[in-house]
Structure 1
């Protein structure tokens, strides 16, 4: 047994390669670990820079609002002008800051009558206004829901003091508080995207969030809240969320007591680039080069037996020919085992092919059953809708139900037609479309001979047959529902023009296909036809020539 173990190919090559490559491997691992740490540090610095660059415009806007509030308060210090002149001054200031939602002077009473919006508002009793009055000094006020704008706002407040030093009120310049979204950051083939952006105050009060559907706290490490995140301002860090995913948390101090939290997540990068093994690519290539050298040196020991086994495999795969491998008894133990596995695989493959053929037959049978059951289910749905239609007293509601019933029956007819095609992948559209039109004639009570066909024997996949049949049902159903003008009947044509297929339907003029029908229930057929055309990667057009409406749908044969 000891002799057999030392005679294996793994022992012969592995012992030599381990001794030769062990020092190089240790050195490569250490160097790679250092490189990973440097890479992580540079990623954090880049994330911090991207977050700061994204929020810099808002920082500049806050500073501009503070400066504006200060200058405006000083201009009002000699005296408060009349309401009309005061509002004009506020509007002029607001024009200088287009982003401002409100520029206003609020007297000590809280009754605001001088505002850029021109609308009065009573701030008396408002908590934010009480804080302004309690501290007669410049400040920033954060409100998740501004009383005037209704949205999250940042208010740059400055007191107005008259010549005697008595405060007469405050000037407030309010700007929207939005959770700005930094641009994605790419670091060595790994893209980081900001998942959730949260604006909050130092006490942990959330002011705005970029995605209301996501809970930012659930993405942070357990036990970390927004107040704890404020301590990370200016120091991005890797964190592990409650779900075990690695993320980067970046906090930027936007203004005094205002922070912006960005939780970065890895984007749709390749699994290799995003994995922890990516930095070890260079050592792996080094080891691969050494293995190639060893393979070339092995020569007669290994290669000739592998080539003989490869020729036997190719002969079987191309012509199902069983080829004997010479000198297989002299091959290393691993190759002999591989040959034995190969022989077993051939036997298993032949057995699996027989079972697969049976599965394909069962699959076609099940597919036909699906179409059959789908058609029956849709017929039941149509019957239930008819019951509701008979009980409905509103003509408009009955009209809507009629349209829905026709569409459901058309879809049922399509599935029934596919059921009768014995599971073929190529569907004869002349049969399917002819059956759909005949079914619609029965539903609408249209006389025999009212529809003329010119359907080329075109075959499509079931994926393309369903939207095409529904498009025919939609257009023909609208024409049949018109009743008037049916003396000339309708014409349905399906032709092949090069690589394109054209469906043309002509009938009496109906409101649904007029050019100016763009809204309301009458516009639904055109929108549905556009959806069906989009599924086929084609285009649809409708026009009215005199007393006739024409619908044309053109799509490429390989559209689906």
Structure 2
């Protein structure tokens, strides 16, 4: 019946498998190689991060450059108008002109610049008497203009409906001062705005860029979007004035539409006007290919993986497959004593070839030594069997001589003594016959020998020569020769006494029962031989201390056996129990 496979056995198998896996040469080589590659991997990781940072810097520079290129027309226009306003401011500040002279200058400026909608001097109180319109203008009060008169500085803004031209105009204002440093006012130039990007095909917009220009106060000057409002392309809560005086700025943000955008802020006129470009993911994809980022990040891992694969493949090809083949041949030699040659050993490294040569030489030597030992053992067994055979023949010869002597003796007592001596000799001859007939010279099947000894029982030795009913109950018991001979002699003497002193039982039948049992007591094996015979009411065992009894005691002493006698009714039993002696070669 198969033994059930328990959870404990499964856990032990998993633990054993895990231990073997950890102790395998491939795992150890992979671990050591990983340690060896760790510094190189760290250096490669650092280089990868550096490459990614360089790529990110290149991306920023590329986005900044493309944003600057897109707003370059706007920058040139503003730079030109700001230069015109600065020139007029210097002219008006250096000369004390009348209103008519000032107006004539403004008209000439208007004539030379077709896009100009208005040119004039804005005095404190938002009044312009000198302008290209030739009349006085009262502009609406503006908190921003009042602040500028308090702190005069250049100013650029956008007005969707100019007060003079009533057109969407860009306004450029520049302060002018008299010789004493007093503020005369602001030279103001307004010009019609044009779309931020011209659709003349000169720009590749990728279809995913939005632009906005703003002044130093965060006011929007111009915008461009592929579609919809500019706010859809900007992050929530973006404060444009925060980018003033910051130089080039680059960051990634989420727009109000939920799209991830690349934000680039570049100055158009530093300190005055700035441009913000909102770029979609297509800009990132065109600037740096995804395979480059992936390969850069995976390079250290791929380097480690390639190193492990190369090492394991080389280890398997150069070492492990030859070791496995050598191990298989060793197991075959251990199980079948067959030295199998290897066809692939010529490809193995010289060290493994040397080990293979040592194994083959050792195997050949072992086979020769085993053959010599087998021959020696065979010769010894033949010699011992011949010795036992000759001893058996000599004992049988002695038994025949005793038998011849019995025929010449007339005294019944002498005949009985010679018969008993003949039985003892025959018993010893049976032991030696069993020794040379057994395949092994170190073990004897005593149950077989016991059957032969019982078969030799001569009923003529019983009182009145009455027939004997013999029964056997025997286990298969194998003993050493050192225990077989004494036990055989005990059996012979016990059977002789049973026939000599036994008799018919209450049922009138002479019975003889022989039992041989092998039992386990703790961790020891014991053998028990019991010979039981029937007795009549007046006889018993050998209570007179005859030679047979003394021989039984002597041979039992050689076995270190426990000898017990018992009498129950018409049954007398002799029991011999001793410990089985295992074979221990000297």
- Which range, TM-score by smaller chain? 0.3 to 0.5
Which TM-score applies when normalising by structure 1? Answer: 0.39
Structure with higher Rg: it is: 2
